[in-house]
């Protein structure tokens, strides 16, 4: 059972080595598609799908699909944003430590929110958000800048030109700012989870140094509006 499929796969996979080796390459043939892990998307009946989804389904039936990476899982506890953040926090490949720090952070957030919840009067109890994942997502969304600056050289001088950012770049910048902020501006004795949970709660309420950094970037972009026409893409 394993022999014919692996032999065919090996030939197909080995046959994929482009003539000129590019610097950024992958072991998969470019015709391989990304895997879809969530179970809800497979339980939808046929009639509810839109035109594009139907085309996607037909394409998926014909093309081969990449293997799911080890950080992706169909369980309710795996979140792609949280895994991305964990990977960015990781140092020298120590995923175990990064994962434990992340879970301690989420636990710390939950504890702080529960404390606040039990202390608050009856009418305010509904406004307090206790789910750490919701807080994490909202905080990241609040930290994302809308517009960025890029260096463009014209006539010898380098200008900072305001430029629209892609979704990926926004998410990356928000996460990077949070992590650098927590690593540098803290007292020597505070632990990372504690500081991170503090920063996340502040970002959730649109306060804190990361939000300030985002506003500073926006102001710089607004100030350099005059150079916006330098952008050619």
Place of tokens 């014909």: 62
**Spatial distance between the Cα atoms of 151 and 159, rounded to a whole number of angstroms:** 6
**Spatial distance between the Cα atoms of 216 and 202, rounded to a whole number of angstroms:** 17
Shorter beta-carbon distance to other proteins: residue 82 or 161: 82
CB of residue 11 vs other proteins: minimum separation in angstroms?
12
**Spatial distance between the Cα atoms of 104 and 193, rounded to a whole number of angstroms:** 6
Q: Are 101 and 85 in contact (CB under 8 A)?
A: no
CB of residue 107 vs other proteins: minimum separation in angstroms?
14
Shorter beta-carbon distance to other proteins: residue 60 or 110: 60
Shorter beta-carbon distance to other proteins: residue 29 or 144: 29
Shorter beta-carbon distance to other proteins: residue 20 or 157: 20
By CB under 8 A, name the binding residues for other proteins. 1-2, 4-6, 8-9, 13, 27-28, 35-37, 39, 42, 55, 58-68, 70-75, 77-78, 95-96, 99
**Which ranges of the chain would DSSP assign to H, the alpha helix?**
2-15, 40-43, 51-62, 80-89, 95-119, 132-143, 167-184, 192-204, 209-223
Q: Are 204 and 139 in contact (CB under 8 A)?
A: yes
Shorter beta-carbon distance to other proteins: residue 25 or 164: 25
CB of residue 42 vs other proteins: minimum separation in angstroms?
5
**Spatial distance between the Cα atoms of 27 and 6, rounded to a whole number of angstroms:** 15
**Spatial distance between the Cα atoms of 31 and 92, rounded to a whole number of angstroms:** 32
CB of residue 182 vs other proteins: minimum separation in angstroms?
23
Q: Are 49 and 57 in contact (CB under 8 A)?
A: yes
CB of residue 15 vs other proteins: minimum separation in angstroms?
11
Shorter beta-carbon distance to other proteins: residue 2 or 155: 2
CB of residue 81 vs other proteins: minimum separation in angstroms?
16
């Amino acid at each position: 059972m394993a022999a014919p499929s692996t032999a065919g796969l090996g030939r197909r996979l080995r046959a994929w080595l482009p003539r000129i080796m590019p610097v950024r390459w992958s072991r998969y043939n470019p015709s391989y598609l990304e895997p879809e892990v969530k179970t809800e998307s497979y339980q939808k009946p046929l009639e509810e799908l839109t035109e594009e989804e139907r085309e996607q389904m037909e394409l998926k039936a014909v093309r081969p699909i990449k293997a799911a990476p080890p950080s992706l899982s169909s369980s309710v506890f795996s979140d792609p944003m949280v895994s991305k953040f964990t990977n960015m926090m990781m140092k020298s490949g120590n995923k175990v430590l990064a994962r434990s720090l992340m879970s301690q952070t989420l636990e710390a957030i939950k504890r702080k929110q529960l404390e606040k919840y039990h202390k608050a009067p009856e009418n305010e109890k509904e406004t307090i958000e206790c789910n750490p994942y919701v807080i994490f997502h909202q905080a990241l969304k609040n930290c994302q800048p809308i517009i960025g600056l890029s260096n463009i050289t014209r006539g010898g001088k380098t200008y900072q030109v305001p430029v629209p950012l892609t979704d990926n770049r926004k998410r990356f910048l928000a996460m990077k700012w949070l992590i650098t902020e927590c690593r540098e501006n803290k007292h020597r004795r505070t632990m990372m989870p504690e500081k991170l949970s503090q920063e996340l709660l502040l970002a959730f309420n649109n306060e804190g140094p990361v939000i300030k950094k985002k506003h500073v970037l926006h102001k710089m972009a607004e100030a350099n509006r005059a150079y916006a026409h330098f952008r050619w893409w």
